[in-house]
C-alpha cells in the first residue's frame, strides 16, 4: 500500500502538479494577482517592458529609491546575497527595481546603485506619470515625497512582489524577510511554470 502511495505521489509530481503555495514563507496572497504590464526606462536609457522582459522567470518587483536609508538597501542586499549564494537560482530570477524618486535617481545613479548589488538587477525610472501608473498597475500605494529640504525621504511600498514564471503573484516580501525565507520561496516559485 505504501509503495502504491509513493508511486502515485511520484506520478503526480512527474505530471507537473502545482507546487503547494502553502509552503511559501512570504506573505501569501489569497487570490494570486497577475503580473502588471508597464514599460519604463531602464538604467541604460532603453525602454523596458516589465511583463515581456521577465517572462518565464521569477520576477521580483520592488518600488523604492536609491537614497532610501534602510528598507531599500536591506531588501536589495538580502536578495543579492541569496543569488550570489545560489547561482542556479540567479539564472531563474530577475529583480526589477523601480525608482519612485525620478528627480534624484537618474539612469547613471541607478546603474551605480542597482548594479552595485548584483549584475543581473535591473533599475527602472520614468516620468512621474509613468511611475504612478506602474505603481497602480502593481497594486501598491503611490509613493510620495516627505519633507521639502534637499535630503527629503520618499514614503513608498516597503515590500517586494514576487511573480512566478506562470505570471501570477502568490506572495509578497515585507521588510525583515530573511535569506532562508528567500531561498525557500525562490526555489518553489522557480518551479511554478
Partner 1 sequence: MGDLTWWCVALDRPWSWSWIPYPGIWAASILPMVLYTIAVRRHGEVDWKKARRFYAGMVVFWVASDWPLGTLGAGYMASAHMLQFLLYSLAAAPLLMLGTPEWMARAITDRLRITRVVEWLGGNYIMCAILYNALLVATHAPGTVEVLRRNQLGSALMDVAWVLAGVILWLPIISPLGRREGAPWGRMLYLFTATGIVAIAPASFLTFTTTPVYALYELAPRVTSLTAREDQQIAGIIMKLATIPFVWSTIAVMWFRWAKQEGAM
Least distance (Å) between residue 137 CB and partner 1: 29
Q: Is 174 in the site for partner 1 (CB under 8 A)?
A: no
User: What is the rounded distance in angstroms from the CA atom of residue 193 to the CA atom of residue 187?
Assistant: 12
Q: Pick from 85, 112, 120, 139: which binds partner 1 (CB under 8 A)?
A: 85
Q: Is 84 in the site for partner 1 (CB under 8 A)?
A: yes
Q: Is 112 in the site for partner 1 (CB under 8 A)?
A: no
Q: Is 73 in the site for partner 1 (CB under 8 A)?
A: yes
Q: Pick from 81, 132, 166, 191: which binds partner 1 (CB under 8 A)?
A: 81
- Residues paired with residue 49 on neighbouring β-strands, in sequence order: 39
Site size with partner 1, rule: CB under 8 A = 16
Q: Is 77 in the site for partner 1 (CB under 8 A)?
A: yes
Least distance (Å) between residue 151 CB and partner 1: 13
Q: Is 74 in the site for partner 1 (CB under 8 A)?
A: yes
Contacts made by residues 26-33, CB under 8 angstroms, sequence distance 24+: 26/162, 26/171, 26/172, 26/173, 26/177, 26/181, 26/185, 27/159, 27/171, 27/172, 27/173, 27/174, 28/170, 28/171, 29/169, 29/170, 29/171, 29/172, 32/168, 32/169, 32/170, 33/139, 33/168, 33/169
Q: Which residues sit at the interface with partner 1, rule CB under 8 A?
A: 69-70, 73-74, 77-78, 81-82, 84-85, 175-176, 178-180, 183
Amino acid at each position: 500500500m505504501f509503495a502504491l502511495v509513493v508511486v502515485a505521489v511520484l506520478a503526480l509530481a512527474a505530471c507537473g502538479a502545482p507546487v503547494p503555495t502553502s509552503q511559501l514563507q512570504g506573505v501569501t496572497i489569497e487570490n494570486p494577482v497577475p503580473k502588471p504590464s508597464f514599460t519604463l526606462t531602464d538604467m541604460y536609457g532603453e525602454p523596458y517592458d516589465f511583463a515581456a522582459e521577465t517572462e518565464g522567470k521569477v520576477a521580483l518587483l520592488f518600488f523604492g529609491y536609491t537614497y532610501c536609508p534602510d528598507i531599500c538597501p536591506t531588501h536589495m542586499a538580502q536578495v543579492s546575497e541569496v543569488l550570489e549564494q545560489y547561482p542556479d537560482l540567479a539564472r531563474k530570477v530577475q529583480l526589477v527595481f523601480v525608482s519612485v524618486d525620478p528627480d534624484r535617481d537618474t539612469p547613471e545613479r541607478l546603474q551605480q546603485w542597482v548594479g552595485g548589488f548584483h549584475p543581473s538587477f535591473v533599475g527602472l525610472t520614468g516620468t512621474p506619470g509613468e511611475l504612478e501608473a506602474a505603481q497602480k498597475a502593481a497594486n501598491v500605494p503611490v509613493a510620495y515625497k516627505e519633507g521639502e529640504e534637499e535630503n527629503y525621504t520618499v514614503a513608498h511600498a516597503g515590500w517586494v512582489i514576487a511573480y512566478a514564471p506562470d505570471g501570477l503573484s502568490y506572495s509578497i516580501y515585507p521588510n525583515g524577510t530573511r535569506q532562508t525565507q528567500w531561498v525557500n520561496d525562490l526555489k518553489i516559485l522557480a518551479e511554478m511554470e
